[in-house]
Amino acid sequence: MKLVVFSTKPYDRRFFEAARETKEYSNIEMVYHEVSLTEDTVPLSQGADGACVFVNDSLSSAVIEKLAGTGVRFILLRCAGFNNVDLDAAEKHGIAVANVPSYSPEAVAEFAVAMIQTLNRNTHRAYNRVREGNFSLDGLLGRTLHGKTVGFVGTGRIGVATARIMRGFGCRILAHDPFPSAAFEEIGEYKSLEELLPLCDIVSLHCPLMDATRHIINDDTLGKMKKGAMLVNTSRGGLVDTKAALRALKSKHLGGLALDVYEGEGSLFYDDHSGDIIHDDVLMRLTTFHNVLVCGHQAFFTEEALEEIAKCTFRNAQELAGGGKCTNMLTKGLVLKQQGTLPWKCLVVDEASRKIIDNVVKDDEILNTNIATIERIEERREPNPDMDAIYLLSAEPHIVDCLLADFERRRYRRGYLVWTSLLEPGLRRKMDEFPGIRQLRASSKTLFVNFYPKESHLITFRDPWSFPILYHPACNNLIPKHMQALAQKIAGVCITLGEYPKVRYYRPDKAFHEASVLCSHLARFVQEELDGYAHWNPDFPPPSNRPQSTLIVTDRSMDLMAPLLHEFTYQAMAHDLLSIKDGDRVTFRTKINAGTAEEQEKDMELSDKDKIWVENRHRHMKDTIDKLMGDFQKFLDQNPHFTNDSRDATSLNAIRDMLAGLPQFQEMKEAYSLHLTMAQECMNIFQRNKLPDLASIEQTMSTGSDEDFRKPKNVLETIVRLLDDGAITPPDRLRLIVMYVLYRGGVIAEDVQKLLIHASLPPQDGEVVANLELLGGKTSHVLKEPRQPPPPLFPRDRDPRSAQATEEYALSRYEPTLKSMLDALTRGALDQAVFPHVKPPMDPNEDLLVAQGGSLRAGRPNWNWAAAGRRPPENRQRIIVFMAGGATYSESRACYEVSRDKGRDVILATSHMLTPQLFVRQVTDLSRDKRQLDIPMERPKPRAPAHLLERPAPPPQPAAAAQPYPPGGDTSDTSLGGRGPRMPPSNAGPGARLPRQGGLAVQPISGPHPVRGPSSAPAAPPSELLSKLHLNPSPASQAASSGGAPSQDGGKAHKDKKRRNFLGMKK
């Protein structure tokens, strides 16, 4: 491959040749020319594959036409800007164009700040004076940056990098950008340009040059700036009307001007004109002002930037020469081929799909992929009939109505439909029958993304209402539809991961609670969803080197101790003790810059983007504090010149005080301040509420042994003593009583009331104890009845030698049952009677084979006897656990630990995350009237907003015109794999089973439609109602169900009546 380089400088040759010395780029032939590219110099590119150019080279239509005649196939810009390139002409002549979009944002940002400080402190004038022996300070008076307001026009990478530095000086940061950046919002505030200009002491330009931004700084905008403000431009010269700037300088309205770029720089910059007469009168007039600083477009000019420019240019060349996709392609034709007739589209979302997007991607990342705007379908929007729209929508009836309202009004040219989950058959048919659907619907796909990744190995459905639906006695009529929704979401997780797992479920031995059958039915539903999807998508699952995954469906009844225990790892302890908001974002409100003039309260996010949080969240609190203090002390040792504080970083408070004196490291300061504050508050509560004493007896009851691994003694006496202690809070007293009842395997009702009275708790708190029966907890005991506490699901290791390594963590001996289950699974020893398969394997020793490192995905063993822990990450078996009824942070930690220790990828999915307070409240609510819970499934169904439906009545049409296309619509609807089932005729009978998208079907329970709410019959218990429900009622799937036989109506009613009497509900 041959490249010809125009406008070559010695430094260009140096860095290109250095890059060519690597093996990766040694095959590229370079021809260097010092002259610029013009119509006259085009012949120099004869025989080259690509032309490498810079900002002042001419790439007009005429030049590009001649380049095409020389055989040049692509143009390589060794810069980010491309305003000097006629991209339409390049596309017309089949020449691809690529740039270097980001080589060193920090280089430009640092230079911009250097120019600000030079002007602000008159350094340039002082330098010249001292060289002449003038040491006078007259005329050199400057201003401090601290407390000043700096405005940024444009918040791309360079703008954000500059803002971060200015924030370190203690400046207030504002910005204007039509496409807001989430990264900037963490450090500053957006304003309109009209609002921003009068507020700022310094205005810095960081936007691209295009028709809309040319001369964005003009007489009008300069007049709106604060008198005496400074203007800085390191972006593109054409952003500033230089003559208008001269007028503002002359009137002294503009206090300073720093330019690294100039709109007339083309014939001047990058060359030595010291011996020439410069005829640019505007530039010469600028240099006469002492408050003007002009540099020769050198902000980018660092070794690191030139090295990256050379490498990126070579990468672009190789990608273009190979005919593949070039990441930095600018030619519009590429976008046209990928996205249709128009390069820009509008993204339309609804309230629910918007939350899914916000959970995983920032708006600026979306807007950088040729998305012009992001709009909500429920809100008022201006029509845009010349632009296509991508609809990312929830499969809900009112959202479909909103979509059809858009179609009827022709709000956009065409719609590319993307659904977050499967459309119900009725909604699918409603769309297919819409007049003109084939012209309005460009395509339709289903992405199974109706869930929320919370961490790298943790997924939630953000559905705390799942708990009462599954366990409240009066919610039996809601269970079938809710279970179908859960099954689709769980299957969606598997499909998104590319996994077709073996499905197992928790079947408790000798269970007496009605909800004990939930896991078996839910697992069966998930299996049917996956089988249906695989049937209609033969390429599922995609090829993989991983062994076949396993999905285990379990529920909260498997471990009732975990949600009640005080856990002392950082994440679990913080969520238990602190006021952390767990909504669309997980945040903790804290003070930053405490004790300074910049002190403010701020909601700090706790997410995987926070490296300190990720690194420490699963550590014991003692280790977390040691790590935070050690890391900060290491920072001070490496940077002793940043603080004169003589104190040692030996306490959390001392470190927090020292952080206040480090304004140069704002981000680091905020992150460490957040976690030091959280750790300190946790430890304060730990001591104040006597949690060590509480945790000691909690560990004894949960493990069944004391700290010496012996049978515990005097448990009740210890509990009574703690209930007498005023330092123990009422919620902790209630948790202690509940754990004691579970530990004993039930107590007589009078004893529970005595404990509540002794703890000064209201009698109604006893409902928590009674309601645990609904989750399988043994809480009641009849006097003189033989007491035999239920054995643990996984026996605890009582050998003291096994705990020697964690002796100092005696308050953290309990391991969640989930961890024991995963450990048994990875060893191939998980009991198949308690955790059966929905589809029993042909080989009963299959799990043992996988545990030893064999592969089951390929259909034959792969005898790799290496330990599973030595598998590379991309080859590790995935284990997906769904915990119905909510999961705890201790269980989430257990999944990470098993992943690390056993060489697996364990992913925990659940309806919602539980804290002890939330768990106790939700269990208490199981005895409340269902109507008081305001369950969303029983609220009135949302409807399309009226403003979307406000339109004149359409003229009457002939009956034949009502359905111009055959029922079923176009065949563009696909579900990831590109294949989808055809729908049945629209004249199918009301009782016909309508297959779901992906081949699944709904078996009506009562009436002609799928389950939508309570029927006229009395509510049946889950064991009866679920046994009648099938997603794919084939004989095989019916046989796979392990649910018990349905009881008779009379027996059911009698049993329901008895249970309500026992729980103190209405008789």
Task: Answer yes or no: do 290 and 417 share one domain.
Answer: no
Domain assignment of residue 602, given as a range: 570-689
Q: For 121-241, where are the alpha helices, taking DSSP H only?
A: 123-131, 157-168, 182-185, 193-196, 219-224
Residue 286 has pLDDT above 60, yes or no: yes
Q: Which of 894, 923, 938 is the last residue of a domain?
A: 938
N- to C-terminal Cα separation, the chain: 87
More confident residue, 1033 or 915: 915
Residue 851: band (very low, low, confident or very high) from pLDDT cuts 50, 70, 90: low
Looking at residue 152, what is its pLDDT?
97
- Do 792 and 847 lie in one domain? The reply is no
pLDDT at 688: 95
In a domain, 432, yes or no: yes
- pLDDT at residue 1058 tops 90: no
Identify any residues that bridge with 389 across adjacent strands, giving them in sequence order: 346, 415
* Model pTM above 0.75: no
Which has more pLDDT, 279 or 401? 401
Confidence of residue 652 (pLDDT cuts 50, 70, 90): low
Catalytic residues: 236, 265, 297
Of 905, 691, 677, nearest in space to 812 by CA: 691
Pick from 415-429, 619-633, 925-939, 953-967: least confident:
953-967
CA distance 997 to 682: 49
pLDDT confidence of 331, banded at 50, 70, 90? confident
**Chain mean pLDDT for the chain:** 82
Q: Are residues 254 and 359 in the same domain?
A: no
Q: How confident is the model at residue 792 (pLDDT cuts 50, 70, 90)?
A: confident
- Give the residue among 684, 663, 666 at the shortest CA–CA distance from 674: 666
577 plus 684 within the same structural domain: yes
Q: What 3 state SS string does 987-1005 have?
A: CCCCCCCCECCCCCECCCC
pLDDT band of residue 339 (cuts 50, 70, 90) is very low
- 3-state SS record for 844-896: CCHHHHHHCCCCCCCCCCCCCCCCHHHCCHHHCCEEEEEEECCEEHHHHHHHH
pLDDT for residue 802 = 47
What mean pLDDT do residues 405-416 have?
93
What pLDDT does 872 receive? 54
Q: What are 600's two structure tokens? A: 């403010």
Residue closest to 78 by CA, chosen among 264, 316, 324, 271 = 316
pLDDT of the residue at 651 = 59
Q: What pLDDT, on a 0 to 100 scale, did the predictor assign at position 936?
A: 94
The residue among 645, 665, 689 that closes a domain is 689
pLDDT above 60 (res 279): yes
Residues 775 and 896 in one domain: no
Burial class from Cβ neighbours inside 10 Å (0-12, 13-18, 19+) for residue 864 reads middle
pLDDT value for 103: 73
Angle at CA of residue 77, ends 12 and 155, nearest 5°: 105
21 inside domain: yes
> Is residue 870's pLDDT more than 60?
no
Encode burial over 250-285: b for 16+ CB neighbours within 10 A, e otherwise.
eeeebbbbbbbbbbebeebbeeeeeeeeeeeeebee
Mean pLDDT for the stretch of residues 483-500:
96
Residue ending a domain, choose from 430, 446, 462: 446
| Separation in Å, CA 211 to CA 83, 234, 239, 399, 493 | 10, 18, 10, 38, 45
For residues 118-122, average pLDDT: 94
Q: Which residue has the higher pLDDT, 672 or 1032?
A: 672
Residue 149, Cβ density class (10 Å: 0-12 exposed, 13-18 middle, ≥19 buried): middle
The verdict on 782 and 825 lying in the same domain is no
* CATH number for the domain that contains residue 685: 3.90.830.10
The CATH number of whichever domain residue 516 belongs to comes to 3.40.50.1910
**From CA 895, how far away is CA 883, in angstroms rounded?**
12
Shared-domain flag, residues 128 and 236: yes
Q: Provide mean pLDDT across the span 745-749.
A: 89
Residue 205 and residue 113 share a domain: yes
- Output the DSSP codes for 999-1039: S-B---SSSSSS--S--SSPPPPHHHHGGG--SS--HHHHH
Question: Domain check: are 684 and 705 in the same one?
Answer: no
Residues 518 and 487 in one domain: yes
pLDDT at residue 823 is higher than 90: yes
Instruction: Determine which of 343-347, 518-522, 654-658, 808-812 has the lowest per-residue pLDDT on average.
Output: 654-658
**Cα-based torsion angle of the residue sequence 62, 68, 71, 74 in order, rounded to the nearest 10 degrees:** 100
Q: Which whole number is the average pLDDT over 28-40?
A: 92
Flag whether pLDDT at 864 surpasses 50: no
Q: Which residue has the higher pLDDT, 973 or 785?
A: 785
Stretch 82-100: mean pLDDT, rounded? 88
Q: What percent of the chain has pLDDT over 90?
A: 58
Here the CATH number for the domain that contains residue 730 is 1.25.40.60
pLDDT, average across residues 688-711:
90
Q: Under a CB-based contact definition with an 8 Å cutoff, are residues 256 and 230 in contact? A: yes
Structurally, how many domains does the chain consist of?
Answer: 6
Residue 104 has pLDDT above 90, yes or no: no
The per-residue pLDDT for 760 is 94
Predicted confidence at residue 850, as pLDDT, reads 65
Mean pLDDT for 208-215 is 86
Q: Is the pLDDT of residue 1046 over 90?
A: no
Both 785 and 673 in one domain: the answer is: no
pLDDT at 100 over 70: yes
With a cut of 70, say whether residue 106 has pLDDT above it: yes
Does residue 474 surpass a pLDDT of 90? Answer: yes
How confident is the model at residue 789, as a pLDDT?
Answer: 63
Distance CA 937, CA 931 (A): 11
- Note whether 166 and 312 are same-domain residues: no
Share of the chain above pLDDT 70, in %: 80
Residue 148 domain flag: yes
Q: What is the CATH number of the domain that holds 49?
A: 3.40.50.720
Range ranked top by mean pLDDT from 300-314, 582-596, 965-979: 300-314
What pLDDT does 1057 receive? 36
On whether residue 410 sits in a domain, the answer given is: yes
Q: What pLDDT was estimated at residue 560?
A: 96
Query: How do residues 155-179 score in pLDDT, each as one tens digit?
Result: 988 999 999 999 999 999 999 998 8
Instruction: Identify whether 1004 is part of a domain.
Output: no
Is residue 547 assigned to a domain?
A: yes
Structure confidence at residue 334 (pLDDT): 42
CA distance 554 to 885: 9
Is residue 997, in this structure, part of any structural domain at all? no
Average pLDDT score over residue span 1048-1057:
41
Distance of CA 337 to the CA centre of its chain: 30
Q: Is residue 613 part of a domain?
A: yes
DSSP 8-state class, residue 184: H
pLDDT tier at 648, thresholds 50, 70, 90: low
Tell me, what's the pLDDT at 83? Answer: 78
Mean pLDDT of 15-22: 89
Q: How confident is the model at residue 682 (pLDDT cuts 50, 70, 90)?
A: very high
Residue 927 pLDDT grade (very low, low, confident, very high; cuts 50, 70, 90): very high
Position 1034 pLDDT exceeds 70: no
Asked if residue 338 has pLDDT above 90, the reply is: no
Pull the structure tokens for residue 2: 């041959």
Tokens 């250095």 found at: 18
Residue 781 has pLDDT above 90, yes or no: no
Tell me what pLDDT residue 999 has. 33
634 or 677, greater pLDDT: 677
Is the CB of residue 882 less than 8 Å from the CB of residue 909?
A: yes
Whether 995 has a pLDDT exceeding 70, the answer reads no
